[in-house]
Every structure is written in structure tokens, then in C-alpha cells.
Amino acid sequence: MAVNKIGVALIGAGSMACTHMRSMAQTDHLVLRLVCDINQTAAEHMAANYGEEGCRICSDYREAIVAADIDAVIIVTPNFLHHDILMDVIRAGKPYYLEKPIAMTLDEALEMKTESEKKNLPNIIGFSYRFYPGFRYLKDLVNQGVLGDIRHIYSIYAHYPRPIPPRTWRFEKSKAGTGALGDLGAHTFDSLRLLAGEVESVWGMGGIVVPERANPQGYGMMPVDTDDYFNAVLRMQSGAVVTCSFSRLAYGRFNYQRYEIYGSQGSLVYELEKAQEKIEVCSGDFYCDRYQFTPIDHTFAPYDIPPRHEPSLMQAFENAILGKDILGAGQIDDGYRVQQVIEAASISAESGVWQKI
């Protein structure tokens, strides 16, 4: 049976939305029919470049949600708007895509999850690194038991945006909630759940290094009150211990991620930077003589990442709407569980005390 086009409203027309619209253009059924943003120029640009013929714009997200020709909603707004917009989407009973972190607080996230699940709405959360072929292969290796039982993981997410950004909403606690912790850490916490299971407890600490940034209006400086860096230690329910480091001041790095995974039967190092992935694995008897400690040639050997179809978040969103395989994408429950870790880490940073999830 032929499937009609699925009319989409995009709420938020910033740079991340452009990435999703390019991806959406590769799907079979999703079409952009309405763009909502308070920045009229941005909305017009998005509609002109990615919308179907006759794509409209508006500045009130409620208008976009209830429009009769809108079947699904994509929310790519600053964090502080997620809750109210999504609750209206849920009341309208429409499938949705939502960026991470899903909320400002755990209470907000719980309400979003509970109400969404009551209506059984198709949804996808923006944990994009699940779709990188190297990470998917890494997850397969862990699931196959190549490393044995996971004991320790050391993870880094390091970024240095260029040009140096002004004081946008990401540096304002009332609009972002957290800084590097939520922005970068949300991705890492989601990945760690896939590799080592659920988090049992967390300890965290973070800080602000650059206390002021340029006013985006073009004059003077404005204060920053979100963390530039954050470090966390996680105890997993499996017994594994994870050390995480997040920084938005890592000079020379662009979305650099590294996982060192140490198991009972092997170890693995994964690196990602500028969309380029690398995996090295150590398994088996890595010393030929335990007393002479004479190394043989496979301490850490590079693994070729198998070529495979690389699905996308937008393809997963289309599939969710059509009741098909969502290709390993995250959903609202995953967003809630990541929010649990973010909030616990933030409380720990303030109190200096381990927080149980």
C-alpha cells in the first residue's frame, strides 16, 4: 500500500535544524510543510531551502502543532523550551522528534515521558552518535563478548568551537540548564548505557573558565553561568566504573570523542573526530611470556570498520511513524534516563557527595 507524504512542522530554525533537514531530504515520505521560529529570516531561509512548494512559516509554535496538514513535529529549540512545546505536541497526539537533553529538570523529563507513553506516541530523541558506523560496530563487539565483562571505561568528549561563540543561550543557565555536562555529556551518558548498562550512582565536578563572552548583539561582554568543563565518575549497575571528562575549551578539538574500554578478556580504544572513526582492539594473550614480558604483535591492533548502510535519525523518525524498525535510535525513556544522570551529576557537583540514580 502506498504511503502518503508525512507533513512535518519544524520548530526551531538554527544550525542543528539545517543538519536534520538535509537528512530528512533523503527519506521517502517526510516533507517540510511549516517552519516556526521567532527569527523570521531564519524561518524563511529554512522554508526556501528545505521546504516543499508552498512551505509556510510562523512564529507561534502552537500554530504549527495544531495545523491540520501537520502530521509530525521536529523540535530543535533551546533546552528551556522543550518541555512546554512537547507537552502541547503530546496533547495534540502527534509523533515527535526532540533534541537532547530533553528537559531542564528531571521533574520535567518525567512528565514528558509519562504523558508521551500514555498516548504511545511514536518518537525519536536526538542521540545522533548511535548512528555512526564505528560506534555501531563497537557496540556489536561489546555485545558479542569480545572484551568479556566490562570493568572500566575512560571517556572523553572534547570540543573547541570556532569561531569562538558569543554569549548565546548555551552559556545561560536559565535557558540551557547546564553547559558541557548536558550539551556533551548527554551523548556520552547515552553511549555508556548502551555499552555498560544502567548507571547506579554518580559523582561530579565542573567549572567555568571563561566567565564572560561577547554580547551577540555586538557590544560589550555578558556573564557566563554554565560549566565550560565537567568531570564525572559513574558506578554502573553491572559493577563497571566509568570516568568521564567533558570540555568545550579543548583547543584544537572538534567534537573529539574517545572511549577506552577494559574488560576481563580484552580492551578496546575508539576515537572519533571530524566524523572520522578509529577502533583498536587488544584481546587474547598479549604477552608471549608472562615473566619475560616479551610483547607480541597484537597488543592493540587496528580493526577495520565494516562498510554498512548508515541510517540516520530522520530515517528512524520516519520508520517510527510508520511502525517500522527504528534502527537502534533513542526514545523518550532513553532521554529520561540520561536526564537522571545529568541531574544527579549536577547535584553532586554542588554538594560534593555521590548521588544514587
3-state helix vs strand vs coil in the chain, percent to 5: 35, 30, 35
Per the CB < 8 A criterion, the answer to whether 97 and 73 are in contact is: yes
CATH superfamily to which 132-308+338-356 belongs: Dihydrodipicolinate Reductase; domain 2 (3.30.360.10)
Q: Where are the domains of the chain?
A: 6-128+313-330, 132-308+338-356
Please write the tens of the pLDDT for every residue from 126-136. 999 999 999 99
Name the grid cell of 31: 516533507
Cα(311)–Cα(277) distance, rounded to whole angstroms? 16
- The backbone torsions φ and ψ at residue 115, rounded to the nearest 5 degrees and listed phi first, read -70, -35
Looking at residue 286, its pLDDT comes to 56
Give strand ranges (E) for the chain: 6-11, 30-36, 51-58, 72-75, 96-98, 123-125, 150-158, 199-207, 212-214, 221-223, 229-236, 241-247, 256-263, 266-273, 276-283, 301-303, 355-356
The mean pLDDT value for 28-38 works out to: 98
Contact indicator for 20, 31 with CB cutoff of 8 Å: no
Q: How much is the pLDDT for 90? A: 98
Region 231-246: mean pLDDT is: 98
Longest dimension (CA), the chain: 75
pLDDT score recorded for residue 95: 98
| Amino acid identity at 42 | A
DSSP 3-state assignment of 350?
helix
Residue 1 has pLDDT above 50, yes or no: no
* DSSP calls for 336-349: HHHHHHHHHHHHHH
CA 288 to chain centre: 42
Whole-number pLDDT of residue 218? 86
As given in the structure block, the three cell numbers for residue 93 are: 497526539
- Average pLDDT over every residue of 159-183: 95
Tell me the pLDDT tens digit for each residue of 137-157: 999 999 999 999 999 999 999
HEC string of 41-84?
HHHHHHHHHHEEEEEEEECCHHHHHHCCCCCEEEECCCHHHHHH
- Fold for 6-128+313-330, please state it: Rossmann fold (3.40.50)
- Encode pLDDT of 268-324 as tens digits: 999 999 889 999 998 876 554 544 555 555 578 888 888 766 789 999 999 999 999
Give pLDDT tens digits for 112-121: 999 999 999 9
d(CA 182, CA 346): 9
Helix axes 332-351, 106-119, angle to 10 degrees: 170
CA distance 40 to 62: 16
pLDDT at 104: 98
Mean pLDDT estimate for the chain:
94
**Res. 91: pLDDT tops 80:** yes
Query: Are the C-beta atoms of 306 and 134 separated by less than 8 Å?
Result: no
Q: Is the pLDDT of residue 84 over 70?
A: yes
| CA 350 from centre of chain | 24
90, three cell numbers: 503530546
Q: Taking the CA atoms of 92, 93, 96 and 99 in sequence, report the sign of the dihedral they define.
A: positive
CA neighbours closer than 13 Å in the CB half-sphere of residue 35: 28
Percent of the chain with pLDDT over 90: 88
pTM of the model: 0.94
Q: Please answer whether residues 155 and 271 qualify as being in contact, where contact means their C-beta atoms are separated by less than 8 angstroms.
A: no
The pLDDT of residue 68 is above 50: yes
Distance of CA 230 to the CA centre of its chain: 16
- On the question of pLDDT at 28 being above 90, the answer is yes
Helices 332-351 and 185-196, axial angle in degrees (round to 10): 110
Give the Cα separation of 339 and 13 in Å (integer): 24
How many CB atoms lie under 10 A from the CB of residue 216? 12
Whether residue 76 has pLDDT greater than 80: yes
